[in-house]
């Protein structure tokens, strides 16, 4: 009997997990958003088929996709839309509102970049519109550590459409605000 034939399915599973851990561990240090893309690809390629996959694909825009299995499936669901997230964060100022809205689109909705227009639209719909979103985002860009990045500018004028992205620090700040507010209400 060959060595491969002697291996049990559990051994193959452990080897696969170890390989994934090695690959994603080094990738996380170099390019954290790439980890999410790789995981999404792996799930699309090797994840469940049938009704569960269809339910995930048909998830309503603006609402998080609910997990179908694994440890995260038993975790309590967070806010169901951007307005509930804003309520959970209870932003103290315009910059915190922008961070929370950006978090929703970048982390929950998995949008790689955020249009300034999109951020201001959701804030306006929540009753917190910003007269000049670019000016309001600038302190987040110039903060140290940097909380947001401008990743693209469409056009050459000062009024050109701009796109932004949260940094790891920006994401951590919003998560910290959520935890802080949850502890205060507990």
Q: Is the pLDDT of residue 177 over 70?
A: yes
Percent of the chain with pLDDT over 70: 73
- pLDDT of residue 173 exceeding 50, the answer is yes
- Cite the residue boundaries of each domain of the chain with CATH code 1.10.10.10: 82-185
| Among candidate residues 110, 63, 69, 96, the one with its CA nearest the CA of residue 180 | 96
User: Rounded CA gap, 57 and 59, in Å?
Assistant: 6
Sign of CA dihedral 113, 59, 65, 24: negative
CATH number of this structure's domain 82-185: 1.10.10.10
Please report where in the chains the tokens 């987040």 appear, as a residue: 140
The CB density around residue 67, as the number of other CB atoms within 10 Å, is: 13
Task: Report which DSSP code applies to 74.
Answer: G
Distance of alpha carbon 103 from alpha carbon 171, whole angstroms: 6
Residue-wise pLDDT for 66-123, tens only, equals 433 333 333 334 567 788 888 888 888 999 999 999 999 898 888 888 888 888 888 8
pLDDT beyond 60 at 22: yes
pTM for this model (two decimals)? 0.57
Q: Is there a contact between 161 and 153 (Cβ–Cβ < 8 Å)?
A: yes
* Residue 61: predicted pLDDT: 42
Q: Which residue has the tokens 């209400």?
A: 185
pLDDT at 33 over 50: yes
Mean pLDDT, the chain, whole residue set: 76
- The stretches of the chain forming alpha helices (DSSP H) are 3-6, 9-30, 32-46, 51-57, 82-89, 94-103, 116-125, 133-142, 168-185
What was the pLDDT predicted at 141? 94
- The 8-class DSSP code of residue 148 comes to E
Give the per-residue pLDDT at 183. 80
User: How many CB atoms neighbour CB 71 within 10 A?
Assistant: 7
Predicted confidence at residue 70, as pLDDT, reads 35
Would you place residue 2 in the very low, low, confident or very high pLDDT band (cuts 50, 70, 90)? low
């Amino acid at each position: 009997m060959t060595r491969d034939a002697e291996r049990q399915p559990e051994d193959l599973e452990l080897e696969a997990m170890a390989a994934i851990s090695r690959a994603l561990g080094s990738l996380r240090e170099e390019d954290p958003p790439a980890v999410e893309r790789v995981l999404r690809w792996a799930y699309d390629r090797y994840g469940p088929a049938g009704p569960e996959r269809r339910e995930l694909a048909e998830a309503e825009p603006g609402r998080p996709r609910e997990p179908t299995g694994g440890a995260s499936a038993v975790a309590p669901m967070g806010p169901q839309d951007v307005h509930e997230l804003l309520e959970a964060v209870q932003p103290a100022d315009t910059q915190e509102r922008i961070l929370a809205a950006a978090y929703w689109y970048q982390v929950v909705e998995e949008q790689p970049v955020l249009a300034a227009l999109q951020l201001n639209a959701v804030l306006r719909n929540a009753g917190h519109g910003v007269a000049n979103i670019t000016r309001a985002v600038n302190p987040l860009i110039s903060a140290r550590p940097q909380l947001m990045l401008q990743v693209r500018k469409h056009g050459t004028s000062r009024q050109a459409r701009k796109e932004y992205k949260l940094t790891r620090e920006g994401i951590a700040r919003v998560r910290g605000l959520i935890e802080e507010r949850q502890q205060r209400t507990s």
